[in-house]
């Protein structure tokens, strides 16, 4: 039996909130990166991706994932968008999310190289999601 991704409905107003959050997280991540605050940059980059995905799914399909795992959100993205580009960006999303534990829970800091690489992926995902919302 195929696994069903749990979802909740998203209103147009909530889409705006998710998009605003994504923009704020990205701006804060960029500011933190410029100040060599690697953990803060990485933390905000992760949350930018989460909010970007929620905004995209909300804008285009009126829903977002309510599953226990962010992997469910990536699965939903691929299910709904159904393109190779969406698969590529879902993979990018998962790569970003894979850093969440390091940033928030592990007893070590992000390195400069890790933070910068994460920012590249988060920026690409954020810009892609925004372009899909605007299309």
Tokens 């953990």 belong to residue: 39
Q: List, in sequence order, every residue forming a beta bridge with 36; answer none if it has no partner.
A: none
Task: Kindly report, residue by residue over 74-103, the tens digit of the pLDDT.
Answer: 999 999 998 999 999 999 999 999 999 888
Q: Would you list the domain boundaries of the chain?
A: 7-134
Q: How far is it, in rounded angstroms, from Cα 120 to Cα 99?
A: 13
Give the percent of the chain with pLDDT over 90: 84
Mean pLDDT of the 27-51 span: 98
DSSP assignment of 62-119: SEEE-SSSHHHHHHHHHHHH-SHHHHHHHHHHHHHHTTHHHHHTSSSPPPHHHHHHHH
Q: Taking residues 59-87, what's their average pLDDT? A: 93
Mean pLDDT of the chain: 93
CB 101 within 8 A of CB 33: no
Alpha-carbon torsion angle 33, 129, 53, 17, nearest 10: 80
CB burial of residue 68 (10 Å; 0-12, 13-18, 19+): exposed
pLDDT at 4: 62
Q: Does CATH place domain 7-134 in 3.40.1500.10?
A: no
């Amino acid at each position: 039996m195929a696994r069903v991704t749990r979802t909740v409905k998203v209103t147009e107003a909530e889409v705006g909130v998710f998009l605003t959050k994504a923009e704020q997280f990205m701006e804060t991540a960029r500011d933190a990166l410029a100040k060599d605050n690697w953990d803060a940059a990485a933390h905000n980059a992760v949350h930018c991706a989460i909010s970007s995905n929620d905004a995209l799914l909300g804008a285009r399909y009126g829903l977002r994932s309510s599953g226990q795992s962010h992997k469910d959100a990536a699965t939903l993205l691929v299910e709904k968008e159904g393109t190779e580009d969406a698969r590529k960006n879902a993979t990018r999303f998962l790569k970003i999310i894979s850093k969440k534990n390091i940033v928030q829970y592990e007893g070590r800091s992000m390195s400069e190289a890790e933070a910068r690489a994460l920012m590249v992926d988060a920026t690409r995902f954020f810009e892609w999601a925004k372009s899909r919302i605007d299309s």
